[in-house]
Amino acid sequence: MGIALKKRVAAPQLPSRPAYGDNQTGTHLPPRAGSLNGVIVPEQPGKNAIEVRGVRKVFGTGENQVAALDTVSVSIRENEFFTLLGPSGCGKTTLLRLIAGFDFPSAGEIMLHGQDIAPLPPFKRPVNTVFQSYALFPHMTVAQNIGFGLEMLGKPKGEIEARVAQMLKLVKMEALKARRTSQISGGQQQRVALARALAPQPKVLLLDEPLSALDYKLRKEMQIELKRLQHETGITFIFVTHDQEEALTMSDRIAVMSAGKILQVGTPRDIYDRPAERFVADFIGETNFLAGTVVSKKPGVATVKFDSNATVAAGYPEGFDPTGEVTLVVRPEHADLVPDPAKGTIAGTLSNIVYFGTDTHYHVRLDGGENFIVRHQNSRSSPVTYETGAEVGIQFEEGAARVLKD
């Protein structure tokens, strides 16, 4: 996982993303106010596609009440690939279902381009969903599945056919358009589900762990495919996943969720390099946690002392005032081993060496008893080799250590 993270390059940003449907023969929804066959057309396309304002969702009654979402607020920008990331039961799917309209919030508003859609039934929201199970209609062909949404919108037959043909091309499924959905493979079903949800040109596309049923290789392919589709269509994607690697590689921004709350929203780099809370640091990537005491601080940087009396400068999140005993976080690839224990920020004994091909993980038992993992990228000219049992020092890169809220 970490290998992919290190190799990750920023996704190429197109100079401008043409709105999907431009340069095509009058097939896209006109940006006018009003309604199309009962489905609302937002009045003024604003900067935010979706604004979730103070949404609560409570299941059950009385003593059995469980808050699946605990006063969540988040803004999702237009044309953004936005990911809701968290472990199962964190409320990410509940939030998606509220946006889709399969459930209604106990409190709060969900604004779509400035209009509250929270009380609308799903068939009146210009929002489409790609389901985890795909939910393709088994009694219809691939083409009929893709055309279903347009048909329900009451579009003329010629327009439906043109759009279906265009969608089949977009997901490269032209050859299989007359097949029943039971006669195509899982990866192909996934493409049909995508085409079906994109065909009505929703304002927002919701994706509920759509890749989880695919095998590893296909999943990798579909990750790239999804990014391409998002670029080509210019539609806002809200993607739900529990796979942190998927979230980091695909998203423009990520919201990390836990126990019905959003803990942090930011770009993959923000989330990975500057986690706001211990949960975020722990959930995303591999992390070392160290205990220390704050001895002094300047704005944004605190000096933290370890039990070994060594000190380190550590950044901390905005709006957080670290004092006394704190937890420091250091990513394994932001530290390196030095042969001389005295030259390291901290020191310990090498307990295990795990070779991964592209890099090597050194497990160090610190003098304080904690474990610390150092990830070293392998190269042809690694100057030093280490043996288990050796006394080593660990040096942090500049800005590697951060103080976290627990």
The residues binding other proteins (CB under 8 A) are 37-39, 100-102, 121-124, 127-129, 131, 133, 135-139, 148-149, 152-153, 180, 182, 196-197, 200
Contacts of 265 (CB under 8 A, 6+ apart): 74, 253, 254, 255, 256
Judge whether 199 and 229 are in contact, CB under 8 Å.
Answer: no
Query: What's the farthest any 2 CA atoms get from each other in the chain?
Result: 77
Q: What is the 3-state secondary structure (H, E, C) of 111-130?
A: EECCEECCCCCHHHCCEEEE
Pick 57 or 196: Cβ nearer other proteins = 196
Pick 211 or 290: Cβ nearer other proteins = 211
Instruction: Give the other-Cβ count within 10 Å of 313's Cβ.
Output: 16
Long-range contacts of 13-21 (CB under 8 A, 24+ apart): 14/231, 17/79, 17/231, 17/234, 18/234, 19/234, 20/201, 20/232, 20/233, 20/234, 20/235, 21/201
Pick 101 or 344: Cβ nearer other proteins = 101
Pick 148 or 272: Cβ nearer other proteins = 148
To other proteins, the closest distance from the beta carbon of 255 in angstroms equals 22
To other proteins, the closest distance from the beta carbon of 32 in angstroms equals 18
DSSP state of 211: T
Judge whether 285 and 272 are in contact, CB under 8 Å.
Answer: yes
Pick 200 or 322: Cβ nearer other proteins = 200
To other proteins, the closest distance from the beta carbon of 97 in angstroms equals 9
To other proteins, the closest distance from the beta carbon of 147 in angstroms equals 10
To other proteins, the closest distance from the beta carbon of 326 in angstroms equals 46
In 131-260, DSSP assigns E strands to 204-208, 236-241, 253-258
To other proteins, the closest distance from the beta carbon of 112 in angstroms equals 14
Pick 74 or 206: Cβ nearer other proteins = 206
Helices (DSSP H) in 34-141: which residue ranges?
92-100
Pick 14 or 152: Cβ nearer other proteins = 152
Return d(Cα 134, Cα 337) in angstroms, integer: 48
Q: What share of the chain is helix, strand, coil (3-state, %, to 5)?
A: 25, 35, 40
To other proteins, the closest distance from the beta carbon of 115 in angstroms equals 17
